[in-house]
């Protein structure tokens, strides 16, 4: 990175130094180190007169980044490597420096990617914006953020077409007392995610020796197999680096995946135990598809059975319609005005493209002849408009189709429409659709699944369903590794690997590892200190079985 910076900065600029530090060297520092450097900078009276205004502006901007918990980021960090949560907090830091009043701020899950320790800084920043005379609206599932709010609007009672109502509103105390609020029941403890009575005891491990990529400090890590493992630590402590840059890339090379066939990892000394698993699957939050034709039904393979079913209807046989007739990707049954998209893309040039319903098919994707074929009173377009829950009842007699839909229901996506464009799904929804596809396959075990913050966008009740899915995968003989900050997920794991102690160049070390109870007893672990409340009963830490 420093070499790249040097190519972008002229030799003349590099020759200018402040206390033997040039611009390239300064840019390689973290926000925290850069702030410390400027605070301890000793200047002559003349230098102070010249630089005072500039130094004040630079310090203020660095302090704003520090306030929102981003002190571990280096100043030269590429924007392509910034997570969604980090980008949102950078924008928030910009607003903190604007000193505006009378502004309505809307934030969508600002706590994404934040360790419970770091959330306090975020809430202090939001409080200062509110106290300056602004209004702050936050869409959030984090318990600490919910309790911090002055006023809560709780939506429900379910999701999708089962939601859309205000089930409760008021202060956190009023929400807790409202019997109609599902959120309130979790806040009071009437409903909760229970600590597992037993934890799986690992027997085999993938052992990583000398991992030194980015900020990792040549650490040795043993990842247990056929268990549910959480990788934890404060923001920037090296979790993603360990899992994706070291372990995942090494496994891709081990299994000779084409996308990584030329990858020659030199960021570790040795990894043993990879022969004990058969394959690795990364279940990320990227979009399932980029066109309106990508949808949950096609992704999990349910649409194949639906098309085959419609082709078996007597009217289809009389007309000679095969299952391909009911595909909106092929010429014949689809609407040719929109090529089966149901939408027409409008080029907006300097603005994002806009989509409007097709005038010919009115968004139904098929031509008139195809829509005349009906199964149990519904045509193919109407079948795609059903939610997963509705389709589960409608197709209950079709065993293979029912199985695939049941898996979507099990991961908490019963509210999704079968034909809902993949581009409208959130990252968390996309990740759970991917999970459901894997669950729908016949498992032979010995698969390693990697999930990166799967609780993004999930309510307490949805997290319970997610944990059931994760445990079902492990019960089949698979290994699940989750990078997570949610304490309910962490306390439910069989094993924890906690990195830290801080972020950036102050992180990259293994602080604690073992069962949640063992990590909770470790005085050096920030994660452990927060876990104590989740694991304790009557003030005593539960012991693992």
Here the tokens at position 56 are 């004040």
Residues 320 and 236 occupy one common structural domain: no
Residue 21 lies in a domain: yes
Residue 283 lies in a domain: yes
Query: Cβ-count burial of 545 within 10 angstroms (0-12 exposed, 13-18 middle, 19+ buried)?
Result: exposed
Residues 255 and 170 occupy one common structural domain: no
Residue 229 near residue 496, CB atoms below 8 Å: yes
Here the tokens at position 403 are 């199985």
- pLDDT top residue among 289 and 249: 249
Indicate which CATH number applies to the domain containing 314.
Answer: 1.20.1580.10
Residue 49 lies in a domain: yes
Residues 303 and 337 occupy one common structural domain: yes
Average pLDDT of 272-297?
88
User: For residues 125 and 41, what is the distance between their CA atoms, to the nearest angstrom?
Assistant: 27
CA 492 to chain centre: 18
Residues 384 and 453 occupy one common structural domain: no
Residue 195 lies in a domain: no
User: For residues 541 and 491, what is the distance between their CA atoms, to the nearest angstrom?
Assistant: 12
Unique residue bearing structure tokens 């085959």: 308
* Residue 264: pLDDT over 60: no
Residue 259 lies in a domain: yes
Residues 369 and 276 occupy one common structural domain: no
Here the tokens at position 458 are 């999930």
User: For residues 212 and 241, what is the distance between their CA atoms, to the nearest angstrom?
Assistant: 9
Residues 214 and 267 occupy one common structural domain: yes
370-405: per-residue pLDDT in tens? 999 999 999 999 999 999 999 999 999 999 999 999
Residues 486 and 521 occupy one common structural domain: yes
Most confident of 279-288, 396-405, 438-447: 396-405
Return the DSSP state at 48. H
Dihedral Cα 492, 498, 500, 503, nearest 10 deg: -50
Residue 518 lies in a domain: yes
Residue 23 near residue 16, CB atoms below 8 Å: yes
The residues facing 112 across adjacent strands are none
pLDDT band of residue 290 (cuts 50, 70, 90) is: confident
Residues 300 and 415 occupy one common structural domain: yes
Residues 317 and 355 occupy one common structural domain: yes
* Residue 6: pLDDT over 80: no
Looking at residue 357, its pLDDT comes to 93
Residues 89 and 57 occupy one common structural domain: no
pLDDT band of residue 113 (cuts 50, 70, 90) is: confident
Nearest to 110 by CA among 119, 98, 97: 119
- Of the residues 421, 453, 468, the one at which a domain ends: 421
Alpha-carbon separation of residue 316 from 367, 375, 396, 436 (angstroms): 14, 10, 22, 31
Burial 512-523 (b: 16+ CB within 10 A, else e): bbbbbbbbbbbe
Residue 339 lies in a domain: yes
Residues 300 and 404 occupy one common structural domain: yes
**Number of domains forming the structure of the chain:** 4
- The answer to pTM > 0.75 is yes
Indicate which CATH number applies to the domain containing 143.
Answer: 3.40.50.300
First to last CA, the chain: 47
pLDDT band of residue 7 (cuts 50, 70, 90) is: very low
Average pLDDT of 160-175?
92
* Residue 427: pLDDT over 70: yes
Domain range for 181 is 85-188
User: For residues 148 and 361, what is the distance between their CA atoms, to the nearest angstrom?
Assistant: 49
Residues 481 and 522 occupy one common structural domain: yes
pLDDT band of residue 3 (cuts 50, 70, 90) is: very low
- Of the residues 135, 153, 188, the one at which a domain ends: 188
- Of the residues 188, 220, 249, the one at which a domain ends: 188
């Amino acid at each position: 990175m420093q070499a790249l910076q040097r190519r972008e900065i002229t030799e003349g600029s590099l020759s200018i130094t402040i206390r033997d530090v040039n611009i390239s060297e300064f840019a390689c520092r973290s926000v925290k180190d850069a702030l410390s450097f400027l605070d301890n900078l000793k200047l002559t009276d003349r230098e102070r007169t010249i630089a005072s205004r500039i130094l004040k502006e630079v310090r203020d901007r660095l302090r704003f980044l520090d306030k929102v918990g981003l002190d571990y980021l280096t100043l030269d960090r590429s924007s392509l490597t910034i997570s969604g949560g980090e980008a949102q907090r950078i924008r928030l830091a910009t607003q903190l420096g604007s000193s505006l009043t009378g502004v309505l701020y809307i934030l969508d899950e600002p706590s994404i990617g934040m360790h419970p320790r770091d959330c306090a800084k975020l809430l202090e920043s939001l409080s200062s914006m509110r106290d300056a005379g602004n209004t702050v609206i936050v869409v959030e599932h984090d318990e600490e953020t919910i309790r911090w709010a002055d006023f809560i609007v709780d939506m429900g009672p379910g999701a999708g077409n089962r939601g859309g109502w205000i089930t409760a509103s008021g202060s956190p105390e009023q929400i807790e007392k409202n019997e109609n609020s599902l959120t309130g029941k979790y806040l009071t403890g009437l409903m909760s995610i229970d600590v597992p009575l037993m934890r799986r005891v690992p027997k085999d491990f993938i052992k990583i020796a000398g991992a030194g990529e980015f900020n990792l400090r040549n650490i040795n890590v043993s990842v247990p197999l056929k268990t549910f493992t959480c990788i934890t630590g404060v923001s920037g402590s090296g979790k993603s680096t360990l899992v994706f840059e070291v372990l995942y890339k090494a496994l891709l090379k081990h299994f000779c995946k084409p996308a990584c066939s030329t990858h020659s990892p030199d960021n570790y000394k040795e990894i043993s135990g990879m022969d004990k698993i058969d394959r690795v699957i990364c279940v990320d939050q990227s979009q399932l598809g980029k066109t309106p034709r990508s949808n949950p039904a096609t992704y999990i393979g349910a649409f194949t059975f639906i098309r085959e079913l419609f082709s078996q209807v007597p009217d289809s046989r009389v007309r000679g319609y095969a299952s391909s007739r009911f595909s909106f990707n092929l010429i014949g049954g689809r609407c040719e005005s929109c090529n089966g998209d149901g939408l027409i893309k409008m080029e907006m040039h300097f603005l994002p493209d806009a989509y409007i319903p097709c005038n010919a098919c009115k968004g139904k994707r098929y031509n008139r002849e195809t829509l005349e074929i009906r199964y149990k009173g519904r045509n193919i377009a109407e079948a795609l408009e059903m939610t997963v829950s509705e389709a589960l009842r409608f197709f209950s007699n079709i065993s293979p189709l029912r199985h695939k839909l049941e898996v979507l229901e099990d991961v908490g996506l019963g509210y999704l429409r079968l034909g809902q464009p993949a581009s409208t799904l959130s990252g968390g929804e996309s990740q759970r659709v991917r999970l459901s596809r894997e669950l729908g396959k016949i498992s032979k075990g010995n698969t390693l699944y990697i999930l990166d913050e799967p609780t993004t966008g999930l309510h307490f009740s949805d997290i319970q369903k997610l944990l059931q899915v994760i445990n079902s995968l492990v019960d089949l003989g698979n290994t699940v590794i989750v990078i997570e900050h949610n304490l309910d997920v962490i306390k439910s794991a069989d094993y924890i690997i906690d990195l830290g102690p801080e972020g950036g160049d102050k992180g990259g070390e293994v602080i604690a590892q073992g069962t949640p109870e063992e990590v909770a007893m470790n005085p050096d672990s920030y994660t452990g200190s927060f876990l104590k409340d989740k694991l304790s009963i009557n003030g005593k830490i539960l012991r693992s079985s």
